[in-house]
């Protein structure tokens, strides 16, 4: 009994193995040519056992090891002979060998079926004589689809721009077209703007021309090979009877181009390589005053320079001014003329001393890759006269009118501000009345002299805005008071940049051990959410993507005063015994 079951089991296994072998053999694979040259495509045809399998996509993963799969097409047919109908279906897979020598095309699987493997031989491509006097690759123009490539220069300099032009001539309808990018040393070129499409008559045949320019910047001297792009598309051609045939996959490319890249001459080693360079500047104002910001905008525009090679445009500080550069704005335009790069640098200058200041010249040395000459783009030195601060001028104008009143023996000079007093005898009853008036006026005059003396002392001890300003007084208390007045003046002007620098300068004097560089550090020190929000808005107005009309200086000063007051109350700071007014009067 056991022997009988064993024989039945063996029989079933044998039938399954035979059935599997028969199924595997039902998919027959053939190639259109078994001896090919490197880069030449091969059509792998697989005959299907059932026409219904044509709707199932085959597994081509094994082909990717030694072959590039360019496309797959399917076809089916029906024959009726003596009343008997039969159908056939097949796949046509277009592949290109990746290696040279003896290769085996592996099986293709679909569901439970598989094809046989096919052996082929791949020969190396015959090298072509490339005496390349022209800048365009030779291409046959009698094909329904062909490609032409060219460059604007074959002997460029290192880091100079080369424009690579691709034209595809299409004379028949295309389906599912796909164009790869040209390559050079494993790096792809960048397209210059959108492609163009137009019609052109060639040898009596009408073509649709698709044109695209690419940009390349050679990095090393020597030979550089540019491999042409590849166009893969399905085409529909009519058969010999004029009927529309089945779609076929075509691959179109052309010969590579070779560049002979030249090294830069010794005089241009440290210069900017470009086709053209322009440099200009604008100033926000022509009148300069101590403590008032002036914005300098420098614009550098180049043709044929990538943004990573653009120089930085900065200024150093001087005893006459402090400079605060913004983040540069860099823009790149890709056009048919090439890469156009523009950098715009804004620099805020705050004069710290009255007098004549000279802004040094800016020189950018560049090498013209079109003419092979070295040139210089320059901004000449500019000289400006810095006027004293407005409060300083006002005080100096008032001083001569008040000084004669401080000496009894000096007769007062009649002015519009101080009318002369009549010396005509008075009635005895009115003498006391006038004595009171004179006493009150005298007290008011003394108070005026006291405040004038305090403010004049602050003006003579002026401290420049900004964390890098020089301090002319050794009295830390006076430095802090003066910095606080600078904050008040800056908030009154509603200039966001000046307010930021004034607050940081005051905070570094108030807490010299902290070394503040950000406004958020100041709001954290004072523990004021309202101040934190206002300072955050100020920063966003300076460095945000969109510039806003910021007008919140008064709100910041009010919030800063309240936060400082609460901070001091929490630490129980007691007024000193010397009778001086509060450190930061309101």
Supply the DSSP symbol for 244: B
**Does the pLDDT value for residue 572 go beyond 60?**
no
Tokens, residue 548: 């806003």
Supply the DSSP symbol for 265: P
pLDDT of residue 186: 57
pLDDT of residue 80: 65
pLDDT of residue 150: 93
Average pLDDT over the chain, rounded to an integer: 74
CATH (residue range 26-123)? 2.60.40
Supply the DSSP symbol for 122: E
Average pLDDT of span 376-399: 70
pLDDT of residue 548: 61
Rounded Cα distance between 490 and 540, Å, is: 18
Average pLDDT of span 492-498: 83
Q: Among candidates 376, 400, 379, 396, which has minimal Cα distance to 387? A: 396
Tokens, residue 328: 């540069």
Average pLDDT of span 43-66: 78
Lowest model confidence (mean pLDDT) among 139-148, 380-389, 450-459: 450-459
pLDDT of residue 166: 93
Q: Whole-model pTM?
A: 0.45
**Does the pLDDT value for residue 10 go beyond 60?**
no
Between these two residues, 52 and 514, which has the higher pLDDT value?
A: 514
**Does the pLDDT value for residue 409 go beyond 60?**
no
Average pLDDT of span 446-469: 54
pLDDT of residue 321: 84
CATH (residue range 145-261)? 2.60.40.10
Confidence of residue 298 (pLDDT cuts 50, 70, 90): very high
pLDDT of residue 519: 85
Task: Quick: pLDDT tens for 160-217.
Answer: 889 999 999 998 888 778 888 888 875 668 888 888 888 888 888 888 999 999 988 8
Residue listed under structure tokens 């401080």 = 406
Confidence of residue 297 (pLDDT cuts 50, 70, 90): very high
Rounded Cα distance between 44 and 26, Å, is: 16
CB neighbours of 106 closer than 8 A, spacing ≥ 6? 62, 63, 65, 117
Between these two residues, 478 and 368, which has the higher pLDDT value?
A: 368
Task: Quick: pLDDT tens for 99-114.
Answer: 888 999 999 888 788 8
pLDDT of residue 490: 83
Q: Among candidates 29, 43, 57, which has minimal Cα distance to 116? A: 29
Task: Quick: pLDDT tens for 262-279.
Answer: 988 888 878 888 889 999
Element of type H or E holding 15: helix 2-25
Task: Quick: pLDDT tens for 37-54.
Answer: 777 778 888 887 766 566
Confidence of residue 494 (pLDDT cuts 50, 70, 90): confident
Task: Quick: pLDDT tens for 415-425.
Answer: 333 333 333 33
| CATH topology identical between 26-123 and 145-261 | yes
Tokens, residue 51: 């026409």
**Does the pLDDT value for residue 576 go beyond 50?**
no
**Does the pLDDT value for residue 404 go beyond 60?**
no
Domain residue spans of the chain: 26-123, 145-261, 271-387, 476-570
Rounded Cα distance between 130 and 145, Å, is: 24
Confidence of residue 280 (pLDDT cuts 50, 70, 90): very high
Rounded Cα distance between 295 and 359, Å, is: 13
pLDDT of residue 488: 86
Rounded Cα distance between 485 and 465, Å, is: 11
> What's the topology of domain 271-387?
Immunoglobulin-like (2.60.40)
Lowest model confidence (mean pLDDT) among 111-115, 139-143, 188-192, 550-554: 139-143
Task: Quick: pLDDT tens for 19-31.
Answer: 444 444 468 888 8
pLDDT of residue 581: 43
Confidence of residue 240 (pLDDT cuts 50, 70, 90): low
Task: Quick: pLDDT tens for 528-541.
Answer: 888 888 888 887 78
Average pLDDT of span 208-234: 89
Confidence of residue 127 (pLDDT cuts 50, 70, 90): very low
Average pLDDT of span 365-374: 88
pLDDT of residue 264: 87
**Does the pLDDT value for residue 81 go beyond 60?**
yes
Residue listed under structure tokens 């076929």 = 248
Q: Decide if 97 contacts 106 (C-beta within 8 A).
A: no
What is the secondary structure of 498-546 as a DSSP string? HHHHHHHHHHHHHSTTT---SHHHHHHHHT-HHHHHHHHHHHHHHHSSS
**Does the pLDDT value for residue 259 go beyond 70?**
yes
Between these two residues, 335 and 305, which has the higher pLDDT value?
A: 305
pLDDT of residue 498: 84
pLDDT of residue 342: 92
Share of residues in the chain with pLDDT > 70 (%)? 70
């Amino acid at each position: 009994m056991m022997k009988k079951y064993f024989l039945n089991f063996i029989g079933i296994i044998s039938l399954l193995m035979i059935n599997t072998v028969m199924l595997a053999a039902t998919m027959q694979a053939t190639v259109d040519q078994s001896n090919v040259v490197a880069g030449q495509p091969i059509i792998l045809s697989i005959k299907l056992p059932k026409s219904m399998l044509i709707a199932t996509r085959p597994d081509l993963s094994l082909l990717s090891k030694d072959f590039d799969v360019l496309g797959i097409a399917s076809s089916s047919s029906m024959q009726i002979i003596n009343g008997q109908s039969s159908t056939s279906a097949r796949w046509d897979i277009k592949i290109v060998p990746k290696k040279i020598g003896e290769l085996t095309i592996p099986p293709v699987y679909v569901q439970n079926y598989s094809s046989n493997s096919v052996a082929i031989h791949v020969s190396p491509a015959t090298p072509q004589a490339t005496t390349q006097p022209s800048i365009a690759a030779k291409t046959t123009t009698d094909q329904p689809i062909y490609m032409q490539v060219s460059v604007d220069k074959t002997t460029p300099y290192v880091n100079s721009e080369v424009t690579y032009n691709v034209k595809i001539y299409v004379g028949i309808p295309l389906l599912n077209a796909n164009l790869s990018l040209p390559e050079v040393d494993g790096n792809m070129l960048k397209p210059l703007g959108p492609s163009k499409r137009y019609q052109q008559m060639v040898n009596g045949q009408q073509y649709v021309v698709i044109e695209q320019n690419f940009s390349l910047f050679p990095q090393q001297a020597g030979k550089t090979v540019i491999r042409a792009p590849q166009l893969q598309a399905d085409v529909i051609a009519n058969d010999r009877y004029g009927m529309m045939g089945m779609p076929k996959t075509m691959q179109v490319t052309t010969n590579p181009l070779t560049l002979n890249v030249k090294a830069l001459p010794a005089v241009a080693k440290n210069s900017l390589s470009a086709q053209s360079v322009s440099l200009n500047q604008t100033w926000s104002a022509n009148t300069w005053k101590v403590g008032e910001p002036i914005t300098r905008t420098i614009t550098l525009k180049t043709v044929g320079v990538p943004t990573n090679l653009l120089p930085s445009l900065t200024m150093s500080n001087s005893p006459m001014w402090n400079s605060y550069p913004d983040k540069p704005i860099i823009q790149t335009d890709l056009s048919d003329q090439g890469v156009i790069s523009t950098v715009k640098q804004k620099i805020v200058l705050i004069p710290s001393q009255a007098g004549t200041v000279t802004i040094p010249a800016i020189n950018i040395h560049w090498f013209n890759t079109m003419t092979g000459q070295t040139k210089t783009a320059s901004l000449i030195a500019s000289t400006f006269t810095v006027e004293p601060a407005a409060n300083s001028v006002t005080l100096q104008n008032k001083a001569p009118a008040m000084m004669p009143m401080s000496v009894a023996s000096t007769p007062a000079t009649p002015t519009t501000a101080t009318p002369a007093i009549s010396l005509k005898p008075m009635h005895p009853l009115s003498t006391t009345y006038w004595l009171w008036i004179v006493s009150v006026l005298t007290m008011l005059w003394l108070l005026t002299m006291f405040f004038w003396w305090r403010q004049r002392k602050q003006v003579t001890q002026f401290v420049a805005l900004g964390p890098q300003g020089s301090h002319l007084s050794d009295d830390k208390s006076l430095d802090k008071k003066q910095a606080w007045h600078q904050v008040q003046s800056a908030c009154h002007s509603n200039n966001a940049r000046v307010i930021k620098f004034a607050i940081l300068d005051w905070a570094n004097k108030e807490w010299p051990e902290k070394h503040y560089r950000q406004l958020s550090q100041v709001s954290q020190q004072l523990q004021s959410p309202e101040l934190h929000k206002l300072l955050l808005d100020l920063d966003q107005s300076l460095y945000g993507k969109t510039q806003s009309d910021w007008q919140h200086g008064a709100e910041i000063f009010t919030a800063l005063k309240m936060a400082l007051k609460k901070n001091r109350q929490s630490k129980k700071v007691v007024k000193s015994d010397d009778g001086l007014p509060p450190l930061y009067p309101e």
